Amino acid sequence: MTLKLKQEYSFRSKTHDAFKLYVSKTKNQIELELSKLSSRLSELNLHPQIEYALLSRGKRLRPLLVVLSAESVGGNRNGVMPLALAFELMHTATLVHDDIIDRDEYRRGIPTLHKKWSANDAILTGDALIALSVDLASPYGETILKTVAQSALELCDGEHMDITFSLKTMTEESYFKKISEKSASLFRASTYCGALAGGGKFSEVHSLSMYGQNFGIAYQLRDDILDLTRRGGTDLKDLRSGNITLPLIHSFNRCSSDEKRQVESQLQRLMEGNTANDNQVAEKLLKTIRRTGSLDYCENQIDEHLRQAVDSISTLKETEYKPYLMEMTRALKALG
């Protein structure tokens, strides 16, 4: 038994090391290609804004999944790189627009585009990134182009749900519909289009599409928890912007009438901001969320969607890339 455990640990360590190297090399290539793309746009009046948005060193998860999905079915990374960039540009466009809607002043530690320039510049930059995304995806054929367009439409619909639903009106069912559109749609489209462009069979494309869907839902759930518990404290970003997340919904549904009024009052105070005791208000809200078991509930939901993601690729042929898809889920689970 001891020998078996040591062998398994050794195998996982080697796989994990290979996965980290794969991610590092792929992200470096994506960064290089984004830099080249930005240089080709130097004559545009919006070039400084586009470059600022594109080269902000994000996680690059969506283009990474395009490449990984393509290689998992025998495709070539250089052949799908423009498509991978298309998904990163679409994602970046949504961030630029979201920052305006949420009135965020910083993203990844630097001023948001609308704060550095103006809301008008940010709107036009986001629009330009969407146009560039469509242009990059267009050589891959009608099916992929329609998928990119459909995912963008779902993103808009999901964002509209985010800004119009309240804690009283957002049910768990509507929440999962929202994140399926706003968050998971680009992940699902990334894996689907990557597999399709990589020459995957119908069954492989479907499997990777389901992987992307469940990975995307788990990713958003993880983000919901991190916004409440990052670094052992409370991040006020989601609370101040009024974002209704699953921990809040689950907790609210398990509160008494008096507790619900308290939660609503606390959220309102945080959304109004400019109060000296925001941190204390947020901590009281987090205490209620913990007491109702809502963080544990979300962790179980993450586990379930990651399990479904792994199950969906169980029939994929055994390649050096299949374990990397599994490592992606382990890495997401480990965040916290």
Taking CA atoms, 265 is separated from 38, 198, 324, in Å, by 46, 52, 45
Which residues lie below 8 Å from residue 66, measured CB to CB, with a gap of 6+?
A: 80, 83, 84, 87, 190, 191, 193, 194, 197
DSSP 254: T
What pLDDT shows up at residue 3? 41
Radius of gyration of the chain (CA): 21
How would you label 35-54 residue by residue, b for 16+ Cβ within 10 Å and e otherwise?
Answer: eebbeeeeeeebbebbbbbb
Distance of CA 150 to the CA centre of its chain: 17
What pLDDT shows up at residue 228? 85
Which residues lie below 8 Å from residue 148, measured CB to CB, with a gap of 6+?
A: 86, 87, 90, 133, 134, 137, 189, 193
What are 288's two structure tokens?
């209620």
Helix (H, G, I), strand (E, B) or coil at 107: strand
What pLDDT shows up at residue 8? 43
Domains along the chain? 15-334 (1.10.600.10)
- Give φ, ψ of 230 to 5 degrees: -60, 130
Which residues lie below 8 Å from residue 18, measured CB to CB, with a gap of 6+?
A: 320, 323, 324
Going residue by residue through the chain (336 aa), what tens digit of pLDDT does each one get?
344 444 444 446 788 899 999 999 999 999 999 999 999 999 999 999 999 999 988 899 999 999 999 999 999 999 999 999 999 999 999 999 999 998 899 998 899 999 999 999 999 999 999 999 999 999 999 999 999 999 999 999 999 999 999 898 999 999 999 999 999 999 999 999 999 999 999 999 999 999 999 999 999 999 999 988 864 445 567 677 778 899 999 999 999 999 999 999 988 888 877 666 777 888 888 899 999 999 999 999 999 999 999 999 999 999 999 999 999 999 998 875
Statement: the pTM of the whole predicted model exceeds 0.85: yes
